[in-house]
Amino acid sequence: MTPVFAPKSTTSYPLYLVTPDTLEAVAGTLPLHAQNWVQANGFKGNAGETLVLQSETGAIAGAVVGLGAPETAARRRFTAASAANSLPAGDWELTGDLSDELATETALGWLLQMYRFDRYATQPQAQARLVAPANVDAPRIEAIAAGEFLTRDLINTPAADMGPQQLEQAARNLAKDHNAEIAVTTGADLLDANFPLIHSVGRASPNAPRLIDLHWGKTGPTLTLVGKGVCFDTGGLNLKPGASMGLMKKDMGGAATVLGLAHMIMALNLPLQLRVLIPAVENNVDGNAFRPGDILTSRKGLSVEINNTDAEGRLVLADALALGAEENPDLMVSMATLTGAARVAVGPDLAPYYTDNDSDAAALETAAKQAADPVWRMPFHTPYESMIEPGIADLDNAPKGGFAGSITAALFLRRFTSDTNYMHFDIYGWNPSAAPARPKGGVGMGARALLDALPDMLKL
């Protein structure tokens, strides 16, 4: 489905956004029976409260939606948008003088709230649509929502229908939509082209491993996005127990998020040169699978001792990051569902990220607040470098003990980025329970914050 606003029409229902403080004034503009109805229902204007209004003959006449007091509003973004789900199908229009910020957040949140994973649904559902408020940049909001929908669809699609080949197809479709160039290296060709780690991780799957390389834009600063595309993570020979494997269709969440962000960048025609690199593999079990104890030599030449085949994400990313760093872009960003440790540290809402660049971090923090896309900075703590050095090879892919598991994974990746200005996100890609504008299931994290920060980080 495509997230779009309803066309402006005369048949839309008015939607009144109220706080406990403005309730009286707003209710005063309604016909007497509606005022009584608001009062009789005990509507107070608390966050998320929604009440449909009716005409004297019982037709839908609009709705009031509570924003809550300013203190609670700060704890909960997209409050007004969350009403989208509890309103009857039809077209709705915001009333009153809303600030640009509230109008934009409500409009974006509304589209994000409308998301349904309907690929396997046999019955279409009618939805409440929003007429774009006059004071928002509607095409921009639609482009952002479309990118996020792409991310969610890719994550939610089960691995049987979203293997490396299908992920390649999704990237090809995106490239076609935006006139981007795309090249893909597959199977044994990965060895000839010197991507040994991608091949090693992916070779046990009948759905062959590949490296997807997309280019767009002819002028401006250079940005390379690298996304972990592990279409399913069984753990490999270090097989995951069932409970840990259950959700591993989402292990291409980094790839899905960078593709969603790429859509936003290209649809909004940002003045930059974009490259997207996705190592797409399935970490599977087979007689030819890579093993614990194997020592592999990476594209960059660093040798890696495999101490756990379940620490596969950093391996496939290492070769992709090495390739990305070869042309020293102005900024390289990786996104990956890389460690369980990141989830233990910050839970499912926050996108933990790493960078050595303080001004990029400041730009990202500001943008994250504005975009209601929260991030949290983690340290590239150099003293822990010794934890990823096993002795018999240059690097260890799975340090024993698991101390600082997200940090050691990030340090591992940084080894492959040479001198490139580098930022890494260790995301979860999944919403365990529904929240405003974030339905349960696959979700992009950090992409909207990055989109808003790019002008600052790349001096666009």
Question: Which residues contribute to the site for ligand BES (CB under 6 A)?
Answer: 233, 251, 308, 310-313, 337-341, 343, 398, 405, 428
Residue of 452, 456, 447, 455 whose CA lies nearest to 112? 447
Closest residue to ligand BES in the complex (CB): 340
Residue 340 touches which member of Zn ion, ligand BES, Mn ion, none, C-beta under 5-8 Å by kind? ligand BES
According to the 3-state scheme, what is the secondary structure of the chain? CCCCCECCCCCCEEEEEECCCCHHHHHHCCCHHHHHHHHHCCCCCCCCCEEEEECCCCCEEEEEEECCCHHHHHHCCCCHHHHHHHCCCEEEEECCCCCHHHHHHHHHHHHHHCCCCCCCCCCCCCCEEEECCCCCCHHHHHHHHHHHHHHHHHHHCCHHHCCHHHHHHHHHHHHHHCCCEEEEEECCHHHHCCCHHHHHHHCCCCCCCEEEEEEECCCCCEEEEEECEEEEECCCCCCCCHHHHCCHHHHHHHHHHHHHHHHHHHHCCCCCEEEEEEEEEEECCCCCCCCCCCEEECCCCCEEECCCCCCCHHHHHHHHHHHHHHCCCCEEEEEECCCHHHHHHHCCCCEEEEECCHHHHHHHHHHHHHHCCCEEEECCCHHHHHHHCCCCCCEECCCCCCCCHHHHHHHHHHCCCCCCCEEEEECCCEECCCECCECCEECCCCHHHHHHHHHHHHCC
Q: Rule CB under 5 A: is residue 451 a binding residue for Zn ion?
A: no
CA angle 196, 197, 201 (to 5 degrees): 120
Give the nearest distance from C-beta 248 to ligand BES in angstroms.
6
| Window of 99-107, 302-310, 328-336, 403-411 that interacts with Mn ion by CB under 5 A | 302-310
Q: Which of 279, 313, 390, 436 binds Zn ion (CB under 5 A)?
A: 313
Nearer to ligand BES, 221 or 229 (CB): 229
Residue 207 touches which member of ligand BES, Zn ion, Mn ion, none, C-beta under 5-8 Å by kind? none
| Window of 230-238, 253-261, 269-277, 446-454 that interacts with Mn ion by CB under 5 A | 230-238
Residue 341 touches which member of Mn ion, Zn ion, ligand BES, none, C-beta under 5-8 Å by kind? ligand BES
Nearer to ligand BES, 25 or 344 (CB): 344
Q: Which residues pair with 181 in a beta bridge?
A: 215
Give the nearest distance from C-beta 339 to ligand BES in angstroms.
4
Footprint (CB under 5 A) of Zn ion, residues 222-241: 230, 233
Residue 93 touches which member of Mn ion, Zn ion, ligand BES, none, C-beta under 5-8 Å by kind? none
Give the nearest distance from C-beta 3 to ligand BES in angstroms.
26
| 415 given a catalytic annotation | no
Give the nearest distance from C-beta 408 to ligand BES in angstroms.
8
Name the catalytic one among 76, 140, 172, 240. Answer: 240
Give the nearest distance from C-beta 32 to ligand BES in angstroms.
55
Closest residue to Zn ion in the complex (CB): 233
Sign of CA dihedral 24, 30, 36, 42: negative
Residue 256 touches which member of Mn ion, ligand BES, Zn ion, none, C-beta under 5-8 Å by kind? none
Q: Which of 49, 142, 148, 251 binds Zn ion (CB under 5 A)?
A: 251
Nearer to ligand BES, 34 or 167 (CB): 167
Give the nearest distance from C-beta 233 to Zn ion in angstroms.
4
Residue 170 touches which member of Mn ion, Zn ion, ligand BES, none, C-beta under 5-8 Å by kind? none
Q: How far is 302 from 325, CA to CA, in rounded Å?
A: 14
Question: If binding means CB under 5 A, how many residues of this protein chain bind Zn ion?
Answer: 4
Q: Rule CB under 5 A: is residue 335 a binding residue for Zn ion?
A: no
Give the nearest distance from C-beta 313 to Zn ion in angstroms.
4
Q: How far is 203 from 212, CA to CA, in rounded Å?
A: 16
Q: Rule CB under 5 A: is residue 233 a binding residue for Mn ion?
A: yes
Nearer to ligand BES, 133 or 235 (CB): 235
Residue 43, φ and ψ in degrees, nearest 5: -70, 125
Give the nearest distance from C-beta 159 to Zn ion in angstroms.
12
| 275 given a catalytic annotation | no
Footprint (CB under 5 A) of Mn ion, residues 307-366: 310, 312
Q: How far is 410 from 259, CA to CA, in rounded Å?
A: 21
Name the catalytic one among 314, 414, 415, 448. Answer: 314
Chain residues that interact with Mn ion, rule: CB under 5 A: 233, 310, 312
Active-site residues, by number, are 240, 314
Chain residues that interact with Zn ion, rule: CB under 5 A: 230, 233, 251, 313
